[in-house]
Structure 1
Amino acid sequence: MDHAELTTEQVLKRDIPWEQYMTTKLITGTCLQLLRRYDKRSETYRSQLLDDDGPAYVQVFVGILRDIFKEETVEYVLALVDEMLTANPKRAKLFHDTSLVDKDVYEPFLRLLWKGNWFIQEKSCKILALVVSARLKPQGTVANGEASNSKSKITTIDDVLKGLVEWLCAQLKKPSHPSRGIPTAINCLATLLKEPVVRSSFVQADGVKLLVPLISPASTQQSMQLLYETCLCVWLLSYYEPAIEYLATSRTLPRLIEVIRSSTKEKVVRVVVLTLRNLLSKGTFGAQMVDLGLPQIVQSLKAQAWSDEDLLEGLNQLEEGLKDNIKKLSSFDKYKQEVLLGHLDWSPMHKDAIFWRDNITNFEENDFQILRVLITILDTTSDPRALAVACFDISQFVQHHPAGRIIVTDLKAKERVMKLMNHESAEVTKNALLCIQRLFLGAKYASFLQA
């Protein structure tokens, strides 16, 4: 069978010749006794053994992985450890028992990350992530053996983190397994990034950029879980300033907003909303969020029936924070929001000559993006008020920009405005006529006609 497709259940059906290993002195008599008591027993019976003598079994498993290199046996022991931790993840603390302080409990798993087949790599990664997370504490990265008088070189937590992060980044770049490499890496990261020391290591390894392409709307259940865990990683990184600096210069924000715009999965929406809430007050994120239409998306999300209290609270906080950001925006920022969202109305700035005089050069940003959107609105909305305001604003651009008539003509706005001169709304007809007059007759005469 292909090792990449092996399951824990299949591996644990094997019969391992433990007696033969004792005969060749690869395991001790005590080790054999412990294995005979544990191997092929029920979960209930094993659980009692681990409760009574857990560290001893950890020492047995680690010792076998250190001294025996036969692939089938390595796979079997990894499957035993995986099964033990899956049944109760809190058992990861057994690896840090004081009786093991001189034992190198990390080295075999770290070595197997790089040297084993996919089954071995995947199990080693999962086990290491749980074991390291059970050990990481605020007091620092003191590792097994460092506090003792042991003279032998023992793998430290820092060694493990460096190796784990390196392996996880390698999987995100070039996965060892075509369908499970990336999900396995993201799943482990979602566990490990809860610790500040891992965030630092991941950012230093330039890992943040490897997450961004994975932030996209999901369709299948499998891809939804991958999206959720990726967004969970980004949320955890949003508490770490050096990571935020990278997120600010990447496509992370538009991707996150697209995810909540299109996702109906509550846990995905929740983690993205909480991430956006964290980023809102950082740098220019607030202005970018307003720019990308997040206030309207939040309004839409609030109208839906969510049951998660964290999500509801996050939406309320996000809404309030966005309102504060909108208040801080300049008059042109506000105008730009209005245009980009297509919600045109006769707010004071439209007919304010000072606004047009002071901001006319801002219309040149991004290859006249705002002007192009105004022209697009003429084709895409049926709202008479929005059509009237768009025609008026195009006429204002013609009047105030030195090359206004040429630019608007080149963008083929004239034909679109002319179609609106016979609109059923008098307001639309009036402003379409004003716009055409400015295009044909010049600003001075059009102003006279308007008066």
Structure 2
Amino acid sequence: MISYLVNNEVQTSFVKTKTQRKNPEKSSKKMKRIIKQVNMFVSPALVIPPNNEIFKEDTLNNAINNNSNLSDEKRTVLSLYLRQAPEERARIMNEVDLKSLIEIFYILLNQSEHPGVIENTTLLFDDFINADINRIPLISEIDIQLTIELCTRLIRQMKTESLTILKASIEVFTILTTYCGTFNDFVSIMGDYFQVIREIYSIANPTRSTYQPLHLFNWSLYILLNKQPYRKVFSKEIPLNFLLEVHDKIVATQDNELLYSLFHIVWLQSFDEKLVEHDFPENFIQIFANVLLKIKIEKLIRIVLLIIHNLLNVDWYVRLLVQHEFNLIIPMLLSRTFSDSDIVEMLQEINEIVEKKVTETSSMECYMDELKSGRMRWSPMHRSEQFWTENVTHFELENWALVRKLKGVINDKSADPVCVSVACFDLGEVARYHPLGRKIMNDLGIKLDLLQLTSSEQPDVKKNAIYAVQKIMLHHWDLVQTD
């Protein structure tokens, strides 16, 4: 079923980015990567009993006899259908019979209040669709309000403990919301669907077993999030900041397939230009760095690179890549051998853009952006003599505002140790290069703050605090040891 959805919907529907519009050659290459990635997606093999092992024909036979909304003709059609073997059901080609069966499924699903009837009809409907994908256009002819009502009932059924019924419900729901009516028709109920997924994400201390249903939902999300209206609803119900927390839970379960699926969701969201420009969490950059440094699984590396590639149009994220030392990470990866040529190509493209940004990071604007982000890193400008010579006077502006911000960083008990280390180093450089640097460090009490950090339990913080104090106290800076 997923191959049908992929080949008919996903490959042609991705948003073209600004870079793609400007450069058709890159656009073509990127689309080929997208199509390849789409076709690579495979739901993991879960141990789920097939529909026919769960299906209870007696339940539907009782429904046939007791449902006043079924005409005698429809009762006969369904009775004959139930008596046929699966192979015979798959060979039904008569359009009148097929439409009649679809109407019967709708009546049973929408008008029955018996859970057993709804569950077994869902299994039957799922098999009906999977038997011949050419039946899908006939389903789309049903009144859209009836389809919305049916999908609403399927959502309620998704809290079942049966993976078989859950799988069938998700498959039917995904088909209907993809091919019937317009996407806007289902926006009103899509939030409820995503809330079911969020409840599973929210399980405290999850295990592989408790997270198993997510593998089934991820198949559906992979199809639905290709559509911009659905991505918009998803980002409201399950924002990327929430997925950051989910990432940590998935890592704890050591389920790499689920981690891969999570990155697929992030990748699909990264095609939304507004989301990337305004709401893409910076912390994902550190996660991507960890994946590239620690994980050897090529498909995980590939999907992370695809996400990064979608972020390259936003200058701020390129700066973050530099801050997180991607100018060192990418060359390390390029020294490895990969079976997937796309990985090498993407690494080269990302490396070219990151290296270009490295040459620009001696600007004061980049420094202020980094300080504002609260995630200072050992980007090249901190140890650049040219940067300090050209820009140290900026630190005296607005009553030494930048120096005061650095003081706030080193006194923040919750701050990242790397950030504190860089701030200590920079305060030492201000003292070193600015004529009034030593005086302002004393006047603002920064020297005392640094002295306290010389006994820090964090080795790098301690080292850089000591160096900074030396720079404040000594006149001959060339005697100060730095590395």
Q: If the length of structure 2 is used for normalisation, what is the TM-score?
A: 0.65
Instruction: Please list the CA deviations of residues 3-24 of structure 1 after superposition, one character each: whole Å capped at 9, or x if unmatched.
Output: xx98734422553352662465
- 1:125 & 1:11 partners in 2: Cα distance? 16
Q: Within 5 Å, which residues of 2 pair with 1:7-406?
A: 8-12=51-55, 14-18=57-61, 21-22=64-65, 25-39=68-82, 41-49=84-92, 54-85=98-129, 91-96=135-140, 98=141, 100-101=142-143, 104-114=146-156, 117-118=159-160, 119=162, 123-135=168-180, 141=182, 157-173=183-199, 179-180=211-212, 182-205=214-237, 207-216=239-248, 223-248=255-280, 251-282=283-314, 284-331=316-363, 333=366, 340-341=377-378, 348-349=385-386, 353-358=389-394, 362=402, 364-365=405-406, 367-368=409-410, 372-373=420-421, 396=432, 400-404=437-441
- 1:133 & 1:278 partners in 2: Cα distance? 25
1:75: how far off? 1.0
What percentage of residue pairs aligned between the two structures are identical? Answer: 16
Instruction: Flag the structure with more relative contact order, 1 or 2, with Cα contacts below 8 A and sequence separation at least 6.
Output: 2
- 1:447 & 1:70 partners in 2: Cα distance? 83
- 1:181 & 1:275 partners in 2: Cα distance? 25
1:88: how far off? 6.1
The answer (yes or no) to whether the contact 2:187–2:230 under 8 Å persists in 1 is yes
Give structure 2 stretches of 5+ with no counterpart.
Answer: 1-47, 204-209, 411-416, 456-465
- 2:438 & 2:127 partners in 1: Cα distance? 71
The answer (yes or no) to whether the contact 2:184–2:229 under 8 Å persists in 1 is no
- 1:373 & 1:447 partners in 2: Cα distance? 19
Q: Secondary structure at the match of 1:281?
A: coil
1:122: how far off? 5.9
- Letter of the 1:111 partner, please give it: R
Instruction: Please list the CA deviations of residues 131-164 of structure 1 after superposition, one character each: whole Å capped at 9, or x if unmatched.
Output: 222347xxxx2xxxxxxxxxxxxxxx53423212
The answer (yes or no) to whether the contact 1:85–1:92 under 8 Å persists in 2 is yes
1:194: how far off? 0.2
The answer (yes or no) to whether the contact 1:175–1:181 under 8 Å persists in 2 is no
- 2:467 & 2:293 partners in 1: Cα distance? 38
- 1:263 & 1:162 partners in 2: Cα distance? 40
The answer (yes or no) to whether the contact 2:194–2:237 under 8 Å persists in 1 is no
**Structure 1 residues 245, 353: CA separation in 2 closer, same or farther (over 3 Å shift)?**
closer
**Structure 1 residues 44, 370: CA separation in 2 closer, same or farther (over 3 Å shift)?**
closer
- Letter of the 1:214 partner, please give it: V
1:125: how far off? 3.6
1:328: how far off? 3.1
Q: Secondary structure at the match of 1:104?
A: helix
- 2:200 & 2:322 partners in 1: Cα distance? 36
Q: Within 5 Å, which residues of 2 pair with 1:410-449?
A: 410-412=449-451, 440=473, 442-443=474-475, 446=476
Structure index of larger Rg: 1
- Letter of the 1:224 partner, please give it: N
| Root-mean-square deviation (Å) | 4.6
- 1:51 & 1:320 partners in 2: Cα distance? 59
**Structure 1 residues 302, 9: CA separation in 2 closer, same or farther (over 3 Å shift)?**
farther
**Structure 1 residues 344, 192: CA separation in 2 closer, same or farther (over 3 Å shift)?**
closer
- Letter of the 2:283 partner, please give it: R
Give structure 1 stretches of 5+ with no counterpart.
Answer: 142-156, 378-389, 417-432
Q: If the length of structure 1 is used for normalisation, what is the TM-score?
A: 0.69
- Which residue does the alignment assign to 1:153? none
- 1:51 & 1:72 partners in 2: Cα distance? 29
Q: Secondary structure at the match of 1:239?
A: coil
- 2:329 & 2:272 partners in 1: Cα distance? 26
1:123: how far off? 3.9
Instruction: Please list the CA deviations of residues 300-341 of structure 1 after superposition, one character each: whole Å capped at 9, or x if unmatched.
Output: 33333323344333222222222232233334658989x944
- Which residue does the alignment assign to 1:420? none
